[in-house]
Amino acid sequence: MTYQDKITKAKAKLMLEHPYFGTVASSLTLEKNNDILTFTSDGVKMRYNSEYLDKISLEEVEFVMANGAMHSVLKHHERVNDRTKWLWQTATDYVVNAMLVKNGMHLPEYAYFEEKFDGMYVEEVYEMLRAEMMDNSDHSMEQETEQIKDSDETGVENLHMQKEHTPDVNAEETEEEQNADDKEEANTPENKEEQEEMKERLEQIFQKLKRQGNLPKDLDMVVPEYFSHKVDWREFLYGYIASHAKTSYTFTPPNMKFLYRGIYLPSMSSDLLRIIVAIDTSGSVDEALLSTFLGEVSSMMQQYPNYEIDLITADAKIQSFKTFLPGEPLVYEISGGGGTDFRPVFEYVDRHIDYPTLLIYFTDGEGTYPQEEVSYDVLWVMPESKEVPFGEVVVLDAI
């Protein structure tokens, strides 16, 4: 089996057995480079030594692909800061490899793995490795710190799976010059655009597989920011909405090409935002919070020129319902002021709205929830985190 066959089969197996790793790995650009020992991932591209992949088993190629995928998710190149690069890379491999093993993947020979690092952050592992190096040294703290930093210039081989060959001292370009070139290349507009696109892609992959319940074990420990509410809630909200705004077909207007023959075909409608928005108008929602909710509905309409938004207002019962299409002003009456019961909104959607895909419920979170999960996505937007029976919660942390 050639290395190309192994890559293809490894991706396919990952998609079936480990869909998160497989989906991320399939998003990376692959590039053959036999000047490196094994492989390396910079978050956008994954470079590999074809001779290395030829020698290892298909299971080990799966592990390599998943490892490269997780380096993309961890963005370790962006987080190194003033740390020693090779030690930071080693710490990253320990964390990634421990996670992959926990998810039942086959660990290749010589890959760095220790059970004690299971479920730890990269920053924690880095400090532990650094402390161990200093504990095992006869040098002073200052001397050992300097030695660790200097080792970045010495080209230590085979520290972990992704370590590249030691640069040739007779090469025309020094390691410092190469690093400077790499940094300059990473800062080009093209690469920055690639990195932004990859960031958005990873976020969409995460949200999709989280909703499907296909996230790997320990992802919340390895990449805690994906699970933290301490993010810009508007960025999260509109990223979530963007994943639902997609090119779709519609019969309004119909495709004119075959109309003269009496054949009605749908026409293509680009970036159609079709969602349901529910607004809690109960007595516990104050005027400032209600104003924030309504402002976000208006922003959705401005951001997407092609939309169909079913707007429901409710407290313990449905107060109003209206479908807004492009060009219509956001005009409606707010009524309510009673208690909060979320169940009528879901019952209304089931009875009156065909093929719902996403419901965004703006609320303070205080009320009676339905217990039976629905078939469409639900995003609860509230000022503080509450336990919900299904769906996802985004917290308004700065209103």
pLDDT exceeds cutoff 80 at 172:
no
Architecture of domain 233-395: 3-Layer(aba) Sandwich (3.40)
Q: How far apart are CA 349 and CA 355, in angstroms?
A: 9
The confidence score (pLDDT) of residue 266 equals: 44
pTM: 0.48
Q: Where are the domains of the chain?
A: 3-224, 233-395
Select from 247, 324, 242, 214 the least CA-distant residue to 279.
Answer: 324
| 379 close to 237: Cβ distance less than 8 angstroms | yes
pLDDT exceeds cutoff 50 at 170:
no
Q: Among 15-29, 68-82, 167-181, which is the least confidently predicted range?
A: 167-181
Give the mean model confidence (pLDDT) for residues 106-111. Answer: 81
pLDDT digits (tens, 9 = 90+) for 355-374: 898 999 999 999 999 999 99
Tokens describing residue 357:
């895909």
Length of the chain: 399
Q: What percent of the chain has pLDDT over 90?
A: 22
pLDDT exceeds cutoff 90 at 287:
no
The confidence score (pLDDT) of residue 77 equals: 65
Select from 39, 36, 105, 112 the least CA-distant residue to 72.
Answer: 39
The confidence score (pLDDT) of residue 350 equals: 95
pLDDT digits (tens, 9 = 90+) for 190-248: 566 766 776 777 777 777 777 777 788 877 666 655 554 344 566 667 666 776 665 44
The confidence score (pLDDT) of residue 36 equals: 87
pLDDT exceeds cutoff 50 at 251:
no
Q: Among 3-12, 267-276, 382-391, which is the least confidently predicted range?
A: 267-276
pLDDT exceeds cutoff 50 at 301:
yes
Tokens describing residue 148:
């660790």
pLDDT exceeds cutoff 60 at 391:
yes
Q: How far apart are CA 76 and CA 295, in angstroms?
A: 37
